Amino acid sequence: MEASQLSNEMTIQSHKGPYKVFFADNPFADLEQEISGHKHFIIDAAVARCFQKELAPLLAHHSTLIVEAEESNKSLERMPDYVAHLIDAKIRRGDTLIAVGGGIIQDITCFLAATMLRGLDWIFYPTTLLAQTDSCIGSKSSINVGSVKNILGTYTPPKKIKIGLEFLKTLGEDEIRSGIGEMIKVHIIDGQRSIEDLARDYDNLLTCRATLSAYILKSLMIKKRFIEEDEFDTGTRNILNYGHTFGHAIEAATAFGIPHGIAVTIGMDMANFLSFRTGLIDEQTFYKLHKVLHTNYSKFASVVIPLDSFLVAIMKDKKNVGQKMALILLDGSGQVAKRLFEKDQFFQETCRVFLQEIILQH
């Protein structure tokens, strides 16, 4: 990684003005300094348990809501409870919500900030690698209604983001590899040199804090280009959906038994296999990327992904156009672009070969 990239803050432009991402050496001290009568904390229950001592001042605050990070809690049905808590805590215009957690706590807090009192400020301390490296920037909030995932949402950027690597100490390896999946995604999008760097440094990501921190920053810098150009996801930002149409269908077909970023890693491999079979990329490119992608999802390679359920799920993707799937695919020039595909015999056979053979090859 080049030294010029190793600054410890960056600024993101949004429709609500600029906001900053900082790397915090001691996020617990920073959080303690945030405490005031006008701040309301929403904290992931697992994080509250893991960092009971470090977060003690926050946990004793008059307006701290502890939420288990479960999809069912990121729902319209649970919103009344959160709103009632904030009303009890005497929330006022001009107050700020502070999220401490992963993407689930982010989505809940961001949605409440977007809607309560016609808009409140919010601040984010992401505690999962996926949130630190990907979801913390980009303004999106999404919540579920019943079993329909992410159907309600807003574009509401936070006022600031503080990334504390300290939080990652208690995260399991699957969650770390899930975050690395999103890192791989933006590095492939950024081009051959970036993904070759990451493939070379892959093992260090799991063991070296400085390497991890540098790749979080680089990933955010790549994502920044797309969200600043197309914050409302009407054009170029679609590219960030690379691996996601396949990934979401894999999550659905396995009843969410595979962490999101891992399913996306398998999804990118599957998208590349389709690129290879349609002649968009050559065999060598496919297998070079397959190596790093497979390394990241190897623990889940033997999970059964039923082809039928997968094909049903992929046809329901909200980005589909009519009967056609809108897939983000890599081509020979190293570009990632949107292409429309039909669920024809060729597509189904390609998926079958991938799910029954390629996924098991290392």
Ligand X SMILES: NC(=O)c1ccc[n+]([C@@H]2O[C@H](COP(=O)([O-])OP(=O)(O)OC[C@H]3O[C@@H](n4cnc5c(N)ncnc54)[C@H](O)[C@@H]3O)[C@@H](O)[C@H]2O)c1
Binding residues for ligand X, rule: CB under 6 A, are 44, 46-47, 50, 69, 71, 74, 101-107, 127-128, 130-131, 135, 138, 140-142, 150, 167, 170-171, 175, 178, 260
Residue whose CB is less far from ligand X, 49 or 200? 49
Residue whose CB is less far from ligand X, 178 or 245? 178
Distance of CA 236 to the CA centre of its chain: 18
Instruction: Print burial letters for 337-349: b (CB count within 10 Å at least 16), e (below 16).
Output: ebbebeeeeebee
Residue 28 CB, nearest distance to ligand X (Å)? 12
Residue whose CB is less far from ligand X, 35 or 45? 45
Nearest to 22 by CA among 132, 167, 107: 132
- Decide: helix, strand or coil at residue 234: coil
User: What is the enclosing helix (H) or strand (E) of 256?
Assistant: none
- Tell me, what amino acid is at 336? V
Residue whose CB is less far from ligand X, 72 or 192? 72
Contact (CB, 8 A) for 305 and 208: no
Beta bridge partners of 123: 98, 160
Residue 73 CB, nearest distance to ligand X (Å)? 10
Contact (CB, 8 A) for 328 and 338: yes
Residue 166 CB, nearest distance to ligand X (Å)? 9
Residue 82 CB, nearest distance to ligand X (Å)? 15
Long-range own/partner contacts, residues 186-193 (CB < 8 A, 24 or more apart): 186/134, 186/219, 186/222, 186/223, 186/240, 187/218, 187/219, 187/222, 188/242, 188/268, 188/289, 188/330, 188/336, 189/222, 189/239, 189/240, 189/242, 189/336, 190/222, 191/334, 192/334
Residue whose CB is less far from ligand X, 158 or 330? 158
Residue whose CB is less far from ligand X, 150 or 320? 150
Residue 292 CB, nearest distance to ligand X (Å)? 20
Residue whose CB is less far from ligand X, 262 or 355? 262
Residue 349 CB, nearest distance to ligand X (Å)? 31
Extract the tokens encoding 321: 């156009």
Residue 56 CB, nearest distance to ligand X (Å)? 16
Contact (CB, 8 A) for 156 and 124: no
